Amino acid sequence: MSEPTAAHEEQGAVISTQGLTKRYRGGQLAVEGLDLSVPRGSVFGFLGPNGSGKTTTIRMLLGLIEPTGGSAHVLGEPMPGSARRVLPHVGALIEGPALYGYLTGRENLLRYDAADPTADPRSRAARADRALERVGLSAAAAKKARAYSLGMKQRLGLAAALLQPRELLVLDEPTNGLDPQGMREIRSLVRELADDGITVFLSSHLLDEIEQVCTHTAVMHRGRLITQGTVAQMSAGARGRLAVTTPDPGEATRVLKEAGVADLVTDGEEVSGEPPHAHELADLNAALVRAGVRVRAFGLRRASLEDVFVSLTGEGFDVAG
């Protein structure tokens, strides 16, 4: 195994790309000039609307498709050239697991394990049982996979990715199509895997998913990287919305509008909006009091990742990229 470059060692990056680009035949640009750095030990949320280039990036990182420009390193090795050395240390679940419905969950894992040329057949059964236990499917091991719920199928796919010890787990939209309970199960499992020291690279178009489980995130839009950093840094990057609770929402809206507060929204007794950068919040509160507005609560609501996305792109997050 070749030595990682000094730059990758210094950054402690499990995944890093420099100018990574993919242009398909016909000129369609899927990913352009991507510079990405995924710290070791992180739960890294790769965030963007459907069509923003997330899956294309993952396919390049795993050596499934060739980039048309730039470079990518995974575990310090260049991809796709080092795929044979790198991929045994990487577990992946892309666009849902491929399962044999007529086989049990355990039998599916035995098939997956048998397809791995590096797997010792003498310990195959023990590996399958250990993986099933890790994802909470031991009780359903003898059930046919076709009888599994979507959440159980996703967990079985994760079990397949965890048959061997992994340094990195790559998950592409792991909660897609799941009901709320299934989503909670997968999120809980991701946290447990991270606690075990596995770096998790998770792509998603669900903002709350990233905020709930990830330590770091990168935002993609129309094939380009918009920003990356810790989740806390991202949320701090947007100022947040002013929220005022008052029994006089009409008068409060008038006063705040005159003071330069933009995008005002009234919901019952709450008035919220984007505060002007030139005003101190205390000045806005004083203006309300001077106008006779009864203020019951006043403050700045923490910015969400959706706020960050809108502030960076000027578009809602449901825009197809």
147 with 295, same domain? no
- The rounded distance, in Å, linking the Cα atoms of 8 and 74 is 10
Query: Is residue 309 included in any domain, yes or no?
Result: no
**pLDDT score, position 238:** 61
Query: Is residue 315 included in any domain, yes or no?
Result: no
227 with 266, same domain? no
169 with 265, same domain? no
**pLDDT score, position 6:** 36
175 with 250, same domain? no
**pLDDT score, position 300:** 80
- Report the CATH number at residue 210: 3.40.50.300
- Which pLDDT tens digits describe the chain residue by residue (321 residues)? 334 333 333 357 999 999 999 998 888 899 999 999 999 999 999 988 888 899 999 999 999 999 999 999 999 999 999 999 999 999 998 877 789 999 999 999 999 999 988 889 999 999 999 999 988 899 999 999 999 988 899 889 989 999 998 999 999 888 887 888 888 888 888 898 899 899 999 998 887 788 889 999 999 988 999 889 998 777 665 667 789 999 999 999 999 999 999 889 999 999 988 888 766 788 899 999 999 999 999 988 766 666 677 766 666 555 433
- Report the CATH number at residue 285: 3.30.70.100
Q: Apex CA 60: angle with CA 38 and CA 29, to 5°?
A: 105
φ/ψ of 105, rounded to 5, equals -60, -45
250 with 162, same domain? no
Task: Give how far Cα 64 sits from Cα of 44, 56, 234, Å.
Answer: 21, 9, 31
Handedness of CA 42, 48, 50, 56 (dihedral sign): negative
**pLDDT score, position 276:** 82
181 with 41, same domain? yes
244 with 198, same domain? no
67 with 34, same domain? yes
Query: Is residue 36 included in any domain, yes or no?
Result: yes
87 with 180, same domain? yes
**pLDDT score, position 279:** 64
Structural domain ending residue among the three candidates 231, 253, 275? 231
Long-range contacts of 127-130 (CB under 8 A, 24+ apart): 127/163, 127/164, 128/163
297 with 176, same domain? no
C-beta separation of 272 from 241 below 8 A: yes
What are the structure tokens assigned to 91, written together? 């577990």
Characterize the bridge pairing of strands 224-230 and 262-267: unpaired
- The rounded distance, in Å, linking the Cα atoms of 254 and 252 is 5
C-beta separation of 286 from 292 below 8 A: no
**pLDDT score, position 14:** 95
Rg (CA), the chain: 24
What are the structure tokens assigned to 50, written together? 């459907």
**pLDDT score, position 236:** 63
- The rounded distance, in Å, linking the Cα atoms of 273 and 279 is 13
146 with 126, same domain? yes
**pLDDT score, position 82:** 93
- The rounded distance, in Å, linking the Cα atoms of 124 and 97 is 20
- The rounded distance, in Å, linking the Cα atoms of 68 and 24 is 8
Query: Is residue 307 included in any domain, yes or no?
Result: no
Query: Is residue 7 included in any domain, yes or no?
Result: no
Q: Which residues of 107-126 are buried (b: 16+ CB within 10 A; e: fewer)?
A: bbbbebbeeeeebeeeebee
Q: Which of 138, 282, 134 is nearest to 198 (CA)?
A: 134
Query: Is residue 3 included in any domain, yes or no?
Result: no
C-beta separation of 210 from 38 below 8 A: no
Task: Give how far Cα 57 sits from Cα of 67, 170, 203, Å.
Answer: 9, 11, 10
151 with 277, same domain? no
Domain count, the chain: 2
Structural domain ending residue among the three candidates 231, 247, 278? 231
| Parent domain of 253 | 239-302
- The rounded distance, in Å, linking the Cα atoms of 161 and 44 is 18
Query: Is residue 5 included in any domain, yes or no?
Result: no
**pLDDT score, position 269:** 93
C-beta separation of 202 from 46 below 8 A: yes
- The rounded distance, in Å, linking the Cα atoms of 291 and 272 is 18
